[in-house]
Amino acid sequence: MDNDIALIKTAETIEFDDQQKPISISNLIPKPGDEIEVPGIEDPVTSNMFCAGKDKDDTCEGDSSGAVVINGKLVGIVSWGFECGASKLPSVYTLAKNYHEWISNHTGLILY
């Protein structure tokens, strides 16, 4: 699932408020021990991905495409993992910083 990322174009402008806000994309690569938020098992992990998890804390079915956030900025996107909460193996996430240029090219947004 390398490059597990997508953009959408809406027909109407999204109205932001306290409940829904745009998120900034971080330039960080998560390090072991970083606390993160998360509002194809045989696939290899590539440089466009990172692994995260602690004990049996894990993402589950339905979490795919969810955000991984550090200090209010997007660092990753839930991609895939092993059986939900049943192993001590980490989940795999798409590394957002690797897609700054791609997102800018497709949206016209300057991300840093």
Residue 108 belongs to a domain: yes
Whether pTM > 0.85 for this model: the answer is no
Report yes or no on 15 lying in a domain: no
User: How far apart (Å, rounded) are the C-alpha atoms in residues 102 and 28?
Assistant: 17
* Position 35 in a domain: no
Q: Is residue 43 part of a domain?
A: no
Number of domains in the chain: 1
For the domain that residue 71 is a member of, what is the CATH number? 2.40.10.10
**67 occurs within a structural domain:** yes
User: Does residue 98 lie within any of the structural domains?
Assistant: yes
Backbone angles phi, psi at 25, to 5 degrees: -100, 125
Give CA–CA dist 36/44, Å, rounded: 22
Structure tokens at 86: 């049943």
pLDDT tens digits, 7-54 = 889 999 989 998 888 888 888 888 887 766 655 444 567 889 888 887
Each residue's pLDDT tens digit, 60-107 = 878 888 899 999 999 999 998 877 776 677 888 999 999 999 989 999
Domain assignment of residue 13, yes or no: no
30 domain-assigned: no
Domain of residue 63: give its range.
Answer: 48-112
Question: What separation in angstroms does the CA of 92 have from each of 8, 57, 76?
Answer: 22, 13, 9
